[in-house]
């Protein structure tokens, strides 16, 4: 009876943590700093990120240092709008957020009256200068276009930077060295 109860509790715990693990893989973060034209920080500015595909919005307020963080956003393309009294609204479209990535959108607000609205439609720099992790997304189009030996999805691991392929006897299969682990 005790063993069955432990097994049931372990299975229940696993089922409760599984959704949290799945959600962590399909979200990203948008961060940045809001400044004015004299490079002074702008506290208490409203920052809104809107997913262009679903039209869902998330809002944050900049802190005393002008920084903001919008964590746990669904992957997709976003528009980021910043509003603050006395300044013209700022809008940047085409912010591509991929799984497990952090994208920085740096904002410079113009004093109201000088310009009514500033819209930036360029793609932001996707280099994560504040993180040493390597993230590479292999999208559906690349999976369909790449020649995979035997259509083994694990062979896509070798496309990532820092992965070394080891030749192992064919009866064992292929192994990959990633960091200090072998997969």
Encoded tokens for 121: 């439609």
Q: Is the pLDDT of residue 79 over 90?
A: yes
Which are the contacts of 136, defined by CB distance < 8 A and separation ≥ 6?
A: 159, 160, 161
Mean pLDDT of 81-98: 93
Predicted confidence at residue 183, as pLDDT, reads: 46
Higher pLDDT, 155 or 76: 76
CATH superfamily assigned to domain 26-120: Carboxypeptidase-like, regulatory domain (2.60.40.1120)
The domain segmentation of the chain, as residue ranges, is 26-120, 140-182
Predicted confidence at residue 132, as pLDDT, reads: 63
Encoded tokens for 158: 């070798």
Encoded tokens for 34: 């809001």
Cβ atoms within 10 Å, residue 166: 9
The DSSP secondary-structure symbol of 34 reads E
Asked if 103 and 29 touch (Cβ cutoff 8 Å), the reply is yes
Q: What is the pLDDT of residues 104-140, one digit of tens each?
A: 999 999 988 755 566 666 665 556 666 666 666 777 7
Predicted confidence at residue 24, as pLDDT, reads: 47
Give the whole-number percent of the chain exceeding pLDDT 90. Answer: 44
pTM of the model: 0.60
């Amino acid at each position: 009876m005790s063993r069955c109860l432990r097994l049931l509790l372990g299975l229940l715990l696993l089922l409760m943590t599984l959704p949290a693990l799945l959600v962590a893989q399909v979200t990203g973060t948008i961060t940045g700093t809001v400044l004015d034209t004299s490079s002074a920080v702008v506290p208490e500015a409203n920052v809104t990120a809107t997913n262009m595909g679903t039209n869902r919005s998330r809002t944050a307020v900049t802190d005393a240092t002008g920084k903001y963080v919008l964590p746990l956003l669904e992957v997709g393309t976003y528009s980021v709008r910043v509003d603050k009294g006395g300044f013209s609204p700022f809008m940047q479209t085409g912010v591509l957020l991929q799984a497990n990535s952090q994208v920085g959108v740096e904002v410079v607000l113009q004093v109201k009256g000088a310009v009514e609205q500033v819209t930036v439609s360029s793609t932001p720099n996707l280099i994560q200068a504040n993180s040493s992790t390597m993230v590479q997304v292999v999208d559906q189009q690349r999976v369909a276009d790449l020649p995979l030996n035997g259509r083994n999805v694990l062979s896509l691991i070798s496309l990532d930077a820092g992965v070394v392929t080891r030749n192992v006897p064919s009866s064992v299969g292929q192994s990959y060295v990633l960091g200090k682990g072998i997969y």
